[in-house]
Structure 1
């Protein structure tokens, strides 16, 4: 998989996990979903995403 594919997969999985935790465990988990959304928004403007840095160090290609 390429870097962008893995990034989208991780973001989607994390959103699903946070929504499941919010529904089945504690409504406060919605803030994790908000954190993910804000990170995606800031990366659209700044062109920098912390997860991309981690994935590059793990050896994923662009």
Structure 2
């Protein structure tokens, strides 16, 4: 799995987790969706993604977006 796909999968899991926690635990968990969304936007504009750095350190091969 490349870093690109790992980042997309991680973001999707975080959104689904945030929705579930917001529905079952507290509506404040919806703020995690806001954070994930802003992080995806800033990553697309700047090329800096903390999750990509983490997955690179874990040994995922580079994809097209994060070289």
Work out whether the TM-score is over 0.5. Answer: yes
TM-score normalized with structure 2 length: 0.89
Unaligned runs of 5+ in 2: 63-67
Which contiguous aligned blocks of 4+ residues in structure 1 show a shift greater than 4 angstroms? none
Unaligned runs of 5+ in 1: none
Higher helix proportion (structure 1 or 2): 1
Give the CA deviation at 1:39: 0.4
Deviations 1:22-58 (CA, angstroms, capped at 9, x unpaired): 0111001011110000000100110110010111011
* 3-state SS of paired residue (1:48): coil
- Tell me how far apart the structure 1 counterparts of residues 30 and 4 of structure 2 sit (CA, whole Å): 25
Query: Considering only aligned residues, what root-mean-square deviation do their CA atoms show, in Å?
Result: 0.6
Aligned length: 62
TM-score normalized with structure 1 length: 0.96
